[in-house]
Structure 1
Amino acid sequence: MIRRVTVLLLAVTLVLGGAACSAPDDGQSTADALAKALSAHTVGGLSFDAPSDEVQKELTELSAGIDPVWPAVTVSGVEVSGETARVSLNYSWQLPHVDKPWSYATGADMKRNGNSWTITWSPEMVEPKLAAGDRLDISTLYGQRASILSADGEAIVKDRPVRTVGINKEGLTPDAVKSSAEALASLLDIDVAAYQAKAEAYGPVAFVDAITLREEAFQGLDQMKLKSIEGVLSTEGTLPLAPTRIFASAILGTVHEATAEDIEKSEGKVVAGQIVGSGGLQASLDSQLAGTPGVTVLAVKSPENSSSTASPTNDAGTSPTAVPAASKVLFQATPVNGQDVKTTLVPRLQNAAEEALASVKTPSSIVVMRPSSGAILASANGPDSNGYNTAFLGQYAPGSTFKIATSLGLFRLGMTPESTVNCSAEYTADGKKFLNAPGYAAEATGEVPLTTAVAHSCNTAFVSQFEKLAQEQLADAAGALGIGMSNDLGLEAFTGVVPRDSAGTEHAASMIGQGKILVSPLAMTTLMSAVVKGSAVVPVLVEGRDGNVEAAAGAALTQKEAEGLRTLMRAVVTDGYLNNLADLPGAPAIGKTGTAEYGSDTPPRTHSWVIAAQGDIAVAVFVEDGDLGAITGGPLAKTILAAAAG
């Protein structure tokens, strides 16, 4: 789709008049003054054969349409022949979106007038191909905005039909405009007062856009009510869109026509009419998707000399070299189409994750990853995340899912899955009493293997090790599993933080994923993937962007350590709270539940977590305000693992 944004430059034959010249013998000083005046857009101090105020008016009109773009003009020579002289001028335009200047030579004629020179302005002084009645038309051309692709190379984001709905003010009275704006805004559920003010501010025959909708959303409006609104109008168009409004919206972002704010912030890189990305990959990779704009400079007959239109906006598919009738191309830099962005997303799994979260009435997310490659196969946020990328940016205590990192730290002190730990009803660490979750299984208390403590998520068994496992060792273990690792996803992401200086009660709480430990759902999917792979996993969202990763402090995860962690997590499925995953067909499922307390309520509110894996699929489920992880997240995790296997 080619998009053109046009500004007009009036080039007319000027007859100019004015001031004395300091070098009547060769005309050089007048020529230099002319070049300087042309570069500065002011000619009041020169001598022309017309009133200088008229000349200045013409020059101001000529330059206004492309301000601040205007050429630098220099003199390359002056040839005197009797009472006349020919000045050779060099023009150099630094056009927007063009690296090299548009340069050419032209000239101006002068006549001796006693001891001075009088300059005659003709269109050729501006550009040698200009004729009387021509004007310059400078257009920015936009190539095809590229698509965002799925893992299989199919376009996720591509041009899809839209309708722009608004009020056509032509023929409407002010009262009718106000009434129609109110009715339309109410029907569309947008701010009534704001739209009425917008409608009032627009010109008397303007189309006042209210909203742009997907075609299916437009058809879902009450068409009878819509048609009953006086002056209502809808126009058809296309925009690069995902399959649905919610499909990976926080990942993909959206596009829109540049606003005044976009243009101001761009420092000249964005112009009116340009399609720009907003949020997600559409914004972060906007330059790749948009490509490089081009520029065309035309000599076009002015309206009073030609019935042809000045510079119509191109329809999608129109060649960027197409020009209006009766026009001459003076300069062209062809636009370069954008380059597709290939993601690792699998639409089938993305849809499954979004459907699983559709009824969750609190911020939530599901992230699915392929441990062998780090590819993010799906990243969904529930409707109550309200557009926020909970999956990537959420910062929450991981609760008992973090016991996997703690277990790695204990392995490094010499423990194994069979090592005995004490799971007491309560444990006091540095004056703070820690308890197990309500309803904790009595048969899993006392002296039990570490495997049992993980399977039943015994808090006291882990807190009781806080004097043996230092906070720095705990932080190193988490880092070996990818917590806090840098990344180059193409989007901002929070990968977690484990303070290295927590002490006393705070350190004890860190053993069970509380204290000041914070992670995102993406971070916990990465941790789960590391356990499956046997080494730290670098998340990948966009093909080719997996560099700029800073290794975590401390020793790297070993295959033996990962095997021990998988043993612990398999017990959670066979003997613990994730037994609903035991009947999944295929490779044995592993996982860990988590419940993290937050807030000041009594009893405290809880975040619900589940991390799980089967084969080469890892998943993290997070619900901000939920029940025990197994109750809230367990069914969601099973749904996703089943979908991945299907």
Structure 2
Amino acid sequence: MHIYVREPMIRRTSALLVVLALVFTGTACSPVKDDGSTTAKALAAALASHTVGEIVFDKPGAEVQKELSELSKGIDPVWPQVSVDSVVPGDGDTVRVSLNYAWNIPKLAKPWTYKTGADMKRDGDAWTVTWTPEMLEPSLKAGERLAIETMYGQRASILAADGEAIVKDRPVKTVGINKAGLSDAEAEASANALAAVVGIDTAGYLAKVKAYGPVAFVDAITLRVEAFDALDQAALTGIKGFLATPGTLPLAPSRSFAQAILGTVREASAEDIEKSKGQVVAGQTVGASGLQAAFDAQLAGTPGVTVVATAAPAASTASPSASPSAGTADAGTSPVANPAPPRILFSEAPVNGQDLKTTLVPTLQTAAEDSLAGVKTPSSIVVLRPSTGAILASANGPDSNGYNTAFLGQYAPGSTFKIATSLGLFRLGMNPTSTVSCTPEFTADGKKFFNAPGYAASATGEITLTTAVAHSCNTAFVSQFDKLAQDKLADAAGALGIGLTNDLGLDAFTGAVPRDSAGTEHAASMIGQGKVQVSPLAMATLMASVVKGTTVVPQLVDGRDGKATPAGGAPLTEKEAGDLRTMMRAVVTDGYLGILADLSGTAAIGKTGTAEYGTDTPPRTHSWVIAAQGDIAVAVFVEDGDLGAVTGGPLARAMLAAAAGG
């Protein structure tokens, strides 16, 4: 027993004696000397942040910091990642540090990488770094500075369906004031005069003129050449300092041509540059809206960059005998009187942008815009090709004021929605010859519904569903509200493309039909009122789906997969679509769209719609027409209009005629 107890005691005593011996001799507490690795890592971190911090150099740290800051000015905010590759002992108490540099230059696929080095000398237990510019780049010499130059490739074009460029470089003139030789008072007077002639904000331009230097050219506006030529030339030439400089910008054929879709470009603003975190630089052209913004990276391509070493600017006032205290730089940073050309350290050529092909047909787009030119309220026309879903034209009237009414508008569709309601009734067992009751009024859940003013008395009483569609009998459809549930109505609309999820490349509203509307609200849904909301694009999709016999997915950018998802419910069948086409033909032959009856070619079909909105008495009305002929589907919308047939009918006819080439 005693033997087993004493053995561990002896071991513990021996261990304690060893520890005490180490403590007294100082071995256990002696710090391990830095072999240079720790200082090298600190140096790499300091260079990566271009802040010398606590690093000890062979010259004052403040001077090194100044030199480092000067070196970085021309390339900031781009700065490299720096790491230690190796620390190799040299002669005596010196080491050579090998440093890895990696510059992640914006928009370049691969970083600029290289190795360089730094020398360090032991100073007691610490290290002193020998400062040289080659610590940043192996060929960098004293007095040189880093600079980055950006080169841009050709911004690509937005193409029409036939592959021809819609947006391409077109001549422009930038109008402004050249302040050189003008007094402050003259510059102010000229700014006021120019702002009045070109129609820009006077106060804003005056502030800009005052902020610029005494010899600067201060741009006011960039105009297409034809717009510039339309200005009062005599008034312009009478303005002191007036200057118009020629140039080009990627532009559409006209200022309004598919503006909401194509979008615009501009020179990068200070805000663009700041938000981009180095991705956008001064002088770069960027997409500001529409497809130009949505596909900016593709259209712009990749900028090229060149990193150069340049001589420091020459001091203009220093004499050869001036001492450093008189204001000249020290020997390591002396400016060069006759600097050599910049030396290229790294270069990556720009890559031109790639064209973006759309489905637009310029002749139809122009026809649509011309048709809406005189409409004094927000309006739009959308033209689709049912067989492919291609959007051939999408125009917004001038009173849409640049807003994309065609894609983003959210409006009650009125009686055009009766096509969806008819599909829902088909799915209850009805067909185009089924009988419904068309009465002067119908009360649903306590609310009275009426037919449109001037409704034909001959189309009242017990009539076919086809006649109800042709003459747009509200009461016939509302009377079915207790048979066709709201969710089944939503399913029918979904089968025709309403509520479809699809990425066109631009934001678009494809419609929404509530699934939980009840009572009066449900009854109103039967005739496209209540909370049913659509866009003109959505109604063009509905019309195209009827023509094709299956749900059509709209397409704006050629070859783009929008990952479409149907809204839900059973898909549309050809039999259902054929019955809908039969009834929509009756709208032309026997109803309100007789204006389409004499179009040459394939028989036209369509449906009118008038949707009440607002609180006015009588209520204001949206005017709708959806129509098709052959492989062309059209939706026409006017925010404040008369009956659909009155306001929208002529516009629909004009578009179908244009599509047919007549």
Report the counterpart of residue 79 of structure 2 in structure 1: 70
Q: CA offset at residue 410 of structure 1?
A: 1.1
Are residue 130 (structure 1) and residue 140 (structure 2) matched?
A: yes
1:219 Cα deviation after fit: 1.4
Report the 3-state secondary structure (helix = DSSP H, G, I; strand = E; otherwise coil) of the residue aligned with 1:81: coil
Q: Which residue of 2 aligns with 1:422?
A: 437
Change (3 A) 1:481 1:304: same
Deviation at 1:209, TM superposition (A): 1.2
- DSSP-derived class of the 1:332 partner: strand
Contact conserved, 1:371 with 1:529, CA < 8 A, in 2? yes
Q: Does 1:568 align with 2:568?
A: no
User: Which residue of 387, 398, 405 corresponds with 1:390?
Assistant: 405
Q: State the alpha-carbon separation in 1 of the partners of residues 401 and 510 from structure 2.
A: 21
**Matching residue's letter, 1:479:** G
Gaps of 5+ in 2: 1-30, 317-338
Alignment of 1:137-156 (within 5 A): 137-156=147-166
Residue of structure 2 aligned with 1:37, choices 37, 42, 46: 46
1:636 aligns with 2:651: yes
* Cα deviation code 1:474-525 (max 9, x no counterpart): 1111111110011121011001111111111111111111111000000000
Question: Residue by residue, what CA displacement relative to the aligned partner does 1:369-412 show, whole Å, maximum 9, x if unpaired?
Answer: 00011000000000000000000000000000011111111111
Q: Following the alignment from structure 1 to structure 2, what is the Cα–Cα distance between the partners of residues 61 and 633?
A: 67
Q: Paired residue for 2:12?
A: none
Q: Aligned partners of 1:115 and 1:461: how far apart in 2?
A: 99
The 1:466/1:117 distance shift into structure 2, 3 A limit, reads closer
CA distance 1:298–1:403, shift in 2 (3 Å): same
| Aligned match of 1:617 | 632
Deviation for aligned residue 1:419:
1.3
Contact in 1 for aligned 2:359/2:391 (Cα 8 Å): yes
Aligned twin of 1:380: 395
Residues in 1 aligned to 2:598 and 2:266: alpha-carbon distance in whole angstroms: 47
Alpha carbons 1:133, 1:305 under 8 Å: kept = no
Matched, 1:437 2:446: no
Quick check: 2:608–2:644 contact (8 Å CA) kept in 1? yes
Structure 1 length as normaliser, TM-score?
0.90
**Residues in 1 aligned to 2:469 and 2:565: alpha-carbon distance in whole angstroms:** 30
Q: Deviations over 1:64-110 (max 9, x none)?
A: 33333323334422342247654433323222223433221222345
Amino acid at match of 1:335: P
Residue in 1 that maps onto 2:252: 242
User: Does the aligned pair in 2 maintain the 1:396–1:520 contact within 8 Å?
Assistant: yes
Residue correspondences, number: 608
Give the conservation status (yes or no) of the 8 Å contact 2:70–2:145. Answer: no
Asked whether the equivalents of residues 273 and 280 of structure 2 are also in contact (C-alpha less than 8 Å), the reply is yes
1:493 is aligned to: 508
CA distance in 2 between counterparts of 1:420 and 1:264 reads 67
Amino acid at match of 1:35: A
- Distance of 1:589 and 1:172 partners within structure 2: 67
Where does residue 529 of structure 1 map in the other structure?
544
Q: Which residue of 2 aligns with 1:355?
A: 370
Q: Which amino acid aligns with 1:183?
A: A
Aligned-pair CA distance for 1:141 = 3.0
2:283 partner amino acid: G
8 A contact 2:64–2:131 mirrored in 1: no
Query: What TM-score do you get using the length of structure 2 for normalisation?
Result: 0.88
Matched position secondary structure for 1:469: coil
2: distance between equivalents of 1:25 and 1:149? 64
Deviations 1:203-230 (A, max 9, x none): 2222211111111111111111111111
Give the conservation status (yes or no) of the 8 Å contact 1:23–1:30.
no
Deviation at 1:48, TM superposition (A): 3.9
* Counterpart selection for 1:263 from 242, 253, 273: 273
1:479 aligns with 2:494: yes
Paired residue for 1:13?
A: none
2: distance between equivalents of 1:461 and 1:29?
88
Q: Which has the greater radius of gyration? A: 2
Q: Is the 8 A contact 1:28 1:78 kept in 2?
A: no
**Contact between 1:371 and 1:616, CA under 8 Å: does it hold in 2?**
yes
The residue type paired with residue 78 of structure 2 is: V
Q: How far does the alpha carbon of each residue in 1:248-281 deviate from its partner, in whole angstroms, 9 at most, with x for none? A: 0001000001112222322332222221111111
* Match 2:428 to one of 413, 428, 438: 413
Please give the alpha-carbon distance, in whole angstroms, between the structure 2 residues aligned to 1:85 and 1:413: 90
Question: Which letter maps to 1:407?
Answer: S
Cα distance in structure 2, aligned partners of 1:624 and 1:42: 62
Partner of 2:68: 59
SS in 1 for 2:191: helix
* Aligned residues of 2:604 and 2:629 also touching (Cα < 8 A): yes
Distance in 1 between residues matched to 2:582 and 2:212, nearest whole Å: 68
Using the TM superposition, give the Cα deviation of residue 299 of structure 1 relative to its aligned residue in structure 2, in angstroms.
2.2
Number of the residue aligned with 1:579 = 594
User: Is the CA contact (8 Å cut-off) linking 2:173 and 2:228 kept in structure 1?
Assistant: yes
Match of 1:91 among 101, 108, 116: 101
Report the Cα offset of residue 639 of structure 1: 0.4
- CA deviations on 1:347-366 (whole Å, 9 max, x unpaired) are 00000000000000000000
Mapped pair 1:163 → 2:173: yes
Q: Residue 166 of structure 2 contacts residue 253 of structure 2 at CA under 8 Å; is this kept in 1?
A: yes
1:612-642 superposed Cα distances (whole Å, 9 cap, x missing partner)? 0000000000000000000000000000000
Task: String of CA shifts for 1:291-347, please: whole Å, max 9, x gaps.
Answer: 2233221223444399xxxxxxxxxxxxxxxxx983332222333222111100000
Question: CA separation in 2, counterparts of 1:196 and 1:150?
Answer: 41
CA shift, 1:24, in A, is: 10
Distance 2:128 2:516 in 1: 82
Q: Name 1:297's counterpart in structure 2.
A: 307
Tell me the amino acid that sits aligned with residue 222 of structure 1. D
Contact 1:23–1:116 under 8 Å retained in 2: no
1:206 pairs with one of 200, 216, 227:
216
Secondary structure at 2:314's aligned position in 1? helix
1:502 alignment partner, one of 504, 510, 517: 517
Partner of residue 235 from structure 2, selected from 225, 230, 236: 225
Question: Given residue 169 of structure 1, which amino acid in structure 2 is its aligned partner?
Answer: K
Alignment check: 8 A CA contact 2:174 2:246 kept = yes
- Does 1:542 pair with 2:557? yes
**2:336 paired residue number:** none
Q: Return the alpha-carbon distance in structure 2 between the equivalents of residues 37 and 474 of structure 1.
A: 68
Assess, with a 3 A threshold, how the Cα gap between structure 1 residues 601 and 30 changes in structure 2: closer, same or farther: closer
**Residues 309-348 of structure 1: pairs in structure 2 closer than 5 A:** 326-348=341-363
- Equivalent-residue separation in structure 2 for 1:488 and 1:28 (angstroms): 54
**Whole-Å separation in 1 of the counterparts to 2:616 and 2:493:** 29
Distance 1:57-1:402 versus aligned 2 partners, 3 A rule: same
Match in the other structure for 1:183: 193
Deviation at 1:611, TM superposition (A): 0.3
1:304 aligned counterpart, secondary structure? coil
Letter in 2 for 1:490: G
Which shifted more, 133-142 or 29-38?
Answer: 29-38
Distance change in 2, residues 1:93/1:444 (3 Å): same
Residue pairs, 1:513-528, within 5 angstroms? 513-528=528-543
**Structure 2 residue corresponding to 1:458, chosen from 473, 485, 498:** 473
